[in-house]
Structure 1
């Protein structure tokens, strides 16, 4: 069982109403290519990412390929080492959490969650039996004012080895089901629907896009997508809650983001 890193974050409810009163949730997942426009080297994409978030006003955002205080990020951020999660949190008025997967470029690299609501954040490292880059699972434990709880989680699976993706998928399932709560899982999974890891995850979770569209859109590469490797997954008890799911047509990262709306009872 991996080391469990816990960070408590509390704040005030926004706009004078609670998450329990809202019920319809908007969620976004986006691989942001470490804050740099992949098609214009050295150019930051943070302003565009922040503007996208402000446009759709999601309650929760899962971000992948997030740098924190790296030399690499400085090259596209005007020479400043930037904690991208904190920067985007400030730009959007949300809470930001960085789930470090590895030490990288004199800083850290991993996943992030942004939240409009008070939540309890945590990080779980994922296995890499074949070696390669470390990976992590970012968790937000959400508690509504009426006492209902659910988990919003984000991850980015190994791009190098199938065996790593399989092991990471199995560990994610183990970690998520032990809570006994409803789950929304999002991210860049680096697998397509014909791969084994997709089948592993499908045993316990539902591919949310298939619940509203029999032919979901591809997400990668952003300029002309041919592969579907970014997903929202939901626990079986949330079947019937998906209102809509959309791959957004933007190209300031190498992946396209996905926006989902859920009706929470």
Structure 2
């Protein structure tokens, strides 16, 4: 049995945009699409799911479609459904969001707790509609990016587009101002060169998806800035998230929060396996 792509719907325009994106994604990966409406009490559930189903069928009429209403809080219902899903797809804002909020509380909570990749569909129509031809993935030093890199390669392969791999680094803060500290170049000597970090992270997935063209970018800038700039010409931005030590959920650090709130295109948060 093929696991589905699950999209949360609440009747908001943002959730309908998420349905549009998810229908295209389900078609691209030959997945069933499952629409989930969750609320403690909702008299409008049938109307919400009816409108979402109509959008999904219009966008991808051959995709196998199902729907479900759960009487639970939305974040818990989605996280539970994500335990057996290809990914969870959410709009960037929901019904009743506070004015000025850049990301809905449900989307943020699900991104921090889900066991599967979480897609927050945001940005203008040209970014949501895959008109740029680039998938961007953020690569960090260490092992935290492996699952995200494989996800990004698979996306680029399915879309027939280019993968842009970004590794950002900068000189340690205070390296030139603390007399007692070792020189910054001594600290950096114990680290792998940035280009090697990128090459090592990409090697396995690049061999598997040999047809995907790859652009490597090593940037001496804060990672948040580098990723947001790269995303300005992208259809999708993929970032990894480490699991909390001894606690449920993921470590959504400053970089992940920045892209979830400010990226100009859809963002995928991929839990490290």
User: TM-score, normalising length from structure 1?
Assistant: 0.30
User: TM-score, normalising length from structure 2?
Assistant: 0.29
